[in-house]
Amino acid sequence: MEIKTLQVGPIGTNCYILCDEQAKACAVIDPGGEAERIAAAVKATGCALKKILLTHGHYDHTGGVLGLLDAFPPLAVYIHRADLEMPLPQLFPLNSEMGSLPGFSGVNFYGEGDHISVGGLDVQVLHTPGHSEGSVTLRCGDILFCGDTLFAGSCGRTDFPGGSMKKIMASLKRLGELPGDLRVLPGHMEPSTLDRERRSNPYLLQAMRGGM
Ligand SMILES: [Zn+2]
Quote the ligand 1 centre to 22 CA distance (angstroms): 32
In the reported structure, the alpha carbon of residue 155 is separated from the centroid of ligand 1 by a whole-number distance in angstroms of 11
Domain boundaries, the chain: 2-209
- Is 2-209 in CATH node 1.10.3720.10? no
What's the CA-to-centroid distance between 154 and ligand 1, angstroms? 14
Q: Is the separation of the CB atoms in 4 and 16 below 8 Å? A: yes
Ligand 1 center to 6 CA (angstroms) = 17
Tell me the pLDDT of the chain (212 aa) as tens digits: 999 999 999 899 999 999 999 999 999 999 999 999 999 999 999 999 999 999 999 999 999 999 999 899 889 999 999 998 887 878 888 877 776 666 677 789 999 999 999 999 999 999 999 999 999 999 999 999 999 999 999 999 999 989 999 999 999 999 999 999 999 999 999 999 999 999 999 999 999 998 55
CA 120 to ligand 1 centroid distance, Å? 29
Residue (of 133, 156, 161) closest to 207 by Cα position = 156
Distance 104 CA to ligand 1 centre (A): 25
How far does the centroid of ligand 1 lie from the alpha carbon of residue 158, in Å? 9
Q: What 3-state class would DSSP assign to 33?
A: coil
Residue 111's SS3 state is coil
User: Is the distance from CB of 61 to CB of 147 less than 8 angstroms?
Assistant: yes
Of the candidates 6, 10, 8, the residue with the CA atom closest to the CA atom of residue 18: 6
